[in-house]
Structure 1
Amino acid sequence: MNCEECEASLIDHAYDELAAEPRRAVTRHLAECAGCAVAYCRLRADLDGALQAAHEAPPPAVRQRLRAEVERAFRPSWWRRGLALVRRPVPAYAVVAALAIPAALWLARTSAGEEAAGAVTSPRVRGYDAAAPPRIQRPVL
């Protein structure tokens, strides 16, 4: 086996994907050729480093900063959020509640107003007794 054939098979050899005979040939060549052995060692170090880097998790502080940066970058502007709030579909019971609250307030106000207005505007009703004989008011001359 020459160096070009060996270099073409190094990745397959590193992942154990070679058949038995080509694997033995690559192993023999690596034992005899220092240049290919160094290339194989570099390849293994790169693969191990890539696997280790893929499995390492960043520290929590880095994750929090990254999350805050992403939220800041992709968060809609205040006017878009307000527009989305206005355009949100409203269930039917919300419309009924929105109409019932002002109606209840109006009824409470008018009934309280009638009680207060009735006591002030009709002095003749005050002191009424159905058993007493009616008083006749004479016109003042």
Structure 2
Amino acid sequence: MNCEECDASLIDYAYDELAPEPRRAVTRHLAECAACAVAYCRLRADLDGALQAAHEAPPPAVRQRLRAEVERAFRPSWWRRGLALVQRPVPAYAVLAALVLPAALWLVRASGRDDPASATSPRVRGYDAAAPPLIHRPIL
């Protein structure tokens, strides 16, 4: 195996994705060639560093700024949110309530107009029929 073939196989070798025979050939070449062994060591260090960086969580302030930036970039405009609200499906009970509520209000309001006397005579306030009548005494 020459250096070019070894260099092309280093990533697969690092991830252990080579078949047994090519893996043995790369191992023998790395044992014999110092330049390829150094290249493999650098590749392995880079891969380990990338894996370690992927496992580290960013600080909370960075996560909050990133989340705010993503929300601002991908948030729908105000008119799209309003349109989505209008296009939202309405449950059947909401339609029923929209039809029954005005009718119920009309019935409550119309129930006070059934007595024809109440429409023509003024209402007396503070009258209690159960109270005894006042006795009129002459003023001295």
Q: 1:106 to 1:55 in 2, by over 3 A?
A: same
What is the 5 A alignment of 1:59-138? 59-114=59-114, 118-119=117-118, 121=120
Large movers: runs of 4+ above 6 Å: none
Cα deviation, residue 103, structure 1: 1.3
Cα deviation, residue 21, structure 1: 5.8
Structure 1: runs of 5 or more not aligned = 124-141
The alignment yields a C-alpha RMSD, in angstroms, of: 2.8
Amino acid aligned to 2:48:
D
Q: Deviations over 1:15-59 (max 9, x none)?
A: 334456654554444344332222111111111122222333333
Q: Deviations over 1:95-122 (max 9, x none)?
A: 221121111111111223445x633515
TM-score, length basis structure 2: 0.65
Q: 1:20 to 1:121 in 2, by over 3 A?
A: closer
Amino acid aligned to 2:91:
P
Identical pairs, percent: 85
Q: 1:22 to 1:64 in 2, by over 3 A?
A: same
Q: How far, CA to CA, are the matches of 1:11 and 1:119 in structure 2? A: 97
Q: How far, CA to CA, are the matches of 1:29 and 1:45 in structure 2? A: 19
Cα deviation, residue 7, structure 1: 2.2
Report what 2:125 is aligned to.
Answer: none
Matched position secondary structure for 2:109: helix
| Structure with bigger gyration radius | 1
Matched pairs, number: 122
Report what 1:43 is aligned to.
Answer: 43
TM-score, length basis structure 1: 0.65
Amino acid aligned to 1:14:
A
Conserved? CA contact 2:113–2:119, under 8 Å? no
